[in-house]
Structure 1
Amino acid sequence: MVETVSYRPFAKALPPGRARALPWATVIAGSMVTAVPVVASLPLLPPFGLLMLLTWRLLARFALRPWAAAPLGLVDDLVSGQPLGSAMLLWSACFLVIDLIEQRLVFRDFWQDWLIAAGALAFCLVVGRLIAVPIGAHVDWAILAQVGISILLFPTSARLVAWIDRKRGTPA
């Protein structure tokens, strides 16, 4: 029988400062993906910063403080070119709603996390569209496609965050 669990109790963990900064760095790196020049006729690139933020919040609850959504949203606003304060407001609202859901649901599994992330992603993309784009613009199908792609990428980001969280160890 092949052992798939790598239990190494004496493996050296990251220093506490780096372990605490790693979730912040991954969310900022996810926001920086929008700065990569990609030529596309439709805006189908999902909001990787929001995706990483939600994944850290849902999988590793104490990796980011409750107030972390506001400064990380500011960084996303500055990098992505959205109206200043929109991601700060929407990401903070998502954190508050997730806190309310956690008060009601004591135990969650992956499917519930995926459903919560799907609702948060759809909310942020649709309300962000209403804030940033005039109502008369015909971008509804593109937003729906972007929401669908973002929702389908949640399991991949969950795998990535779980791998990073395992490598980061437990900060002292």
Structure 2
Amino acid sequence: MSDHVDYRPFARALPPGRARALPWMTVIAGSAITAWPVIATVPLMPPFGLLMLLSWRLLAPFALRRWAAAPLGLADDLFSGQPLGSAVLLWSACFIAIDLIEQRLAFRDFWQDWLIGGGAVTFCLLAGRFIAVPFDSSLNGALLLQIAASVLLLPATARVVAWIDRKRGHRA
């Protein structure tokens, strides 16, 4: 017996093309948010594109193909101003790491997803700092605050992705 109760059984789902494009659009929109001109003394804006990508990967693993991290990382590089190819490499490495973790774990819950996502965000932000910024700069305090803000926002982005996934008509 299923735990899912459909309160709107006759509601029309999105067409298949739009339903497949929606995860791509949300990740690109998340990457575009970081291009929004915000005046700040400390760069604390989390990488929303990466948070959306990881949330889609962890909550709806079949929504994005395995190779989707590369073109979405390229779009993020174009929006964020990072060196071209850095997000392509780092996001693809995160997808590979998540695949390896999924092979070992039979079941995952919210806390494990949060830990996996937090590790991936931390890895991407630290590696991106070493790729983009000279080693002698002192951005470590701001980077730690950005990592903390990003990890704390992971459940919120997961909630948004779960809501969007439910609205796009996907049935598990």
| Bin of the TM-score, shorter chain as denominator length | over 0.9
Structure 2 counterparts to residues 46-65 of structure 1, below 5 A: 46-65=46-65
Unaligned residue ranges in structure 2 (runs of 5+): none
Aligned to 2:134: 134
- Counterpart CA distance in 2 for 1:54 and 1:104 is 18
- Counterpart CA distance in 2 for 1:39 and 1:135 is 25
Aligned to 1:170: 170
Aligned to 1:40: 40
Tell me by how many angstroms 1:106 deviates.
1.3
Normalising by structure 2, report the TM-score.
0.95
Aligned to 2:109: 109
Structure 2 counterparts to residues 1-40 of structure 1, below 5 A: 6-40=6-40
AA aligned opposite 1:114: W
- Counterpart CA distance in 2 for 1:8 and 1:98 is 34
Tell me by how many angstroms 1:126 deviates.
0.2
AA aligned opposite 2:142: A
Unaligned residue ranges in structure 1 (runs of 5+): none
- Counterpart CA distance in 1 for 2:63 and 2:25 is 12
Q: Secondary structure at the match of 2:37?
A: coil
Tell me by how many angstroms 1:34 deviates.
1.1
- Counterpart CA distance in 1 for 2:36 and 2:170 is 33
Tell me by how many angstroms 1:7 deviates.
2.8
Tell me by how many angstroms 1:97 deviates.
0.2
What is the aligned-residue identity percentage? 73
